Amino acid sequence: MSNNQQPQDEIDLGYLFSAAGKSYRNTVRLAFSAIDFLLKYWYIALILIVGGAVGGYFWQQSEARGKTAKVMVRVNFDGAGYLYQTVELIQKKIDQSDKAFMEAVGLDMEDPELISIAVTPVVRMQDIVSRFEDSNRSLESVLKNVEFEEDDEFALYKTFDTDYRYHTVEIGFKANGKEKIIEALMAYINNNPAIEQMRQMSVGNLQDQLSSKEQTVMQIDTLIKELRDATKKQGSGSGTYIVEKDDDFDQLIRSKVEIQNEIKLLREELILTEQTVVPMSTLAVYPSDRSFTERRMIMLPVLLFGGFCLLAFFRFMYVRLRRIADAPEE
């Protein structure tokens, strides 16, 4: 029985190799047929490619090109969460073509220029670290307990996106988009009574801190002057007393320098607190980059040449199948 099985296996393998060889030859034959066809009708392919490029150029020039704007903003008073919620709301209103919203922002009711709006954080880890004291291990605990996806390179910043101080607002427009729309959007975002009240309270608190620290500096200056006068009067008195005075003097100087640095930071903070969301870059609108499908000079020749090849393939298959159908039966 085994003798009969071995020839059968050899026959099956031979048939398999023969079928594979025929398939390979048919593929090669088909490839050369396609090459011969293109060489024969090269002028048609050239006309389609050149004509498509020329037609695509004029088509692309006639299309109104969209515009975009990227504005870096600074968010004060822990208002990043509010910014993200407001931007999400604005995008929903755009998708719904909400006329009340368009009127509130100041857009054209018949042809609103706004297409999209999105916000992403400007990742600065010092913004996160600054929220935790040097001796506070809360940040370490947070990072240990948050699970990050290995294939998601943005997972870390997404975890703290509302904790960053600076963010980028990207706005998409139609061809008639203008800078005044950005100004209207910034005004709309900042026009919130609750946020404005919080801003005023925070500004008042900063001003109180600034005033208190400035008074402290004045008091330190008075103490330093008194110490200098006392040291001059003491003259050749106890050496220990002079050393103690010198230590007090050095400590006062260090305290004054620290407080003056804090005053500088407070003044810088107050300069940028006129609004909750403050634009930090120029409000400029630029033409958007065309996507691949919008590049008509490339897409149209590709479509015409591809359509020509597809029609030629269908014709080839029709002729071949027709020959098989018309062949006499054996």
pLDDT, tens only, 207-228: 899 899 989 989 888 888 877 7
- Provide the residue type at 30 as one letter: L
By DSSP bridging, strand 286-287 and strand 166-173 are unpaired
Which tops the pLDDT comparison, 293 or 11?
293
User: Is 119 within 8 Å of 168 (Cβ atoms)?
Assistant: yes
Instruction: Judge residue 67's burial from the number of C-beta atoms within 10 Å of its C-beta, 0-12 exposed, 13-18 middle, 19 or more buried.
Output: buried
- Please give the mean pLDDT across all residues of the chain: 76
Same domain, 263 and 320: no
Residue 153 has pLDDT above 50, yes or no: no
Q: Which of 287, 282, 276 is nearest to 71 (CA)?
A: 282
**Residue 239 pLDDT:** 47
Full-prediction pTM beyond 0.75?
no
Lowest mean pLDDT among 151-155, 159-163, 204-208: 151-155
**What average pLDDT score do residues 21-28 get?**
71
User: Is 177 within 8 Å of 284 (Cβ atoms)?
Assistant: no
**Residue 287 pLDDT:** 77
Which tops the pLDDT comparison, 296 or 257?
257
User: Is 100 within 8 Å of 188 (Cβ atoms)?
Assistant: no
User: pLDDT-derived band of residue 318, with 50, 70 and 90 as boundaries?
Assistant: confident
Same domain, 27 and 16: yes
Share of the chain above pLDDT 90, in %: 7
CB atoms within 10 A of CB 128: 19
**Residue 151 pLDDT:** 47
Same domain, 260 and 282: no
**What average pLDDT score do residues 48-75 get?**
84
Same domain, 78 and 180: yes
Which tops the pLDDT comparison, 96 or 242?
96
**What average pLDDT score do residues 247-273 get?**
84
User: How many angstroms separate the CA atoms of 98 and 190, rounded?
Assistant: 20
**Residue 87 pLDDT:** 92
Residue 126 has pLDDT above 60, yes or no: no
Same domain, 25 and 126: no
User: pLDDT-derived band of residue 103, with 50, 70 and 90 as boundaries?
Assistant: confident
**What average pLDDT score do residues 93-108 get?**
81
Same domain, 99 and 188: yes
**What average pLDDT score do residues 196-210 get?**
86
Residue 100 has pLDDT above 60, yes or no: yes
**Residue 136 pLDDT:** 53
**What average pLDDT score do residues 288-314 get?**
82
**Residue 18 pLDDT:** 63
Alpha helical stretches, state H, the chain: 2-40, 42-62, 80-96, 99-105, 125-129, 138-145, 155-159, 179-190, 193-234, 239-271, 296-326
**Residue 300 pLDDT:** 87
**Residue 313 pLDDT:** 84
Q: How many domains does the chain have?
A: 3
Supply the range of the domain harboring residue 321. Answer: 2-62+293-326
Same domain, 18 and 90: no
Same domain, 259 and 307: no
Residue 251 has pLDDT above 70, yes or no: yes
Same domain, 179 and 279: yes
Same domain, 160 and 82: yes
Q: Cα separations (Å) of 232 from 94, 224, 236? A: 75, 12, 9
Same domain, 98 and 180: yes
Q: Which range, 12-21, 32-41, 304-313, has the best average confidence (pLDDT)? A: 304-313
**Residue 118 pLDDT:** 92
Identify the bridge partners of residue 172 per DSSP, sorted by sequence position: 68, 116
Which tops the pLDDT comparison, 328 or 70?
70
**Residue 168 pLDDT:** 92
Q: Which range, 26-30, 120-124, 146-150, 274-278, has the best average confidence (pLDDT)? A: 274-278
Q: Which residue has the tokens 């857009």?
A: 107
User: How many angstroms separate the CA atoms of 304 and 44, rounded?
Assistant: 11
User: How many angstroms separate the CA atoms of 269 and 210, rounded?
Assistant: 10
Same domain, 298 and 234: no
**Residue 129 pLDDT:** 55
**What average pLDDT score do residues 77-101 get?**
87
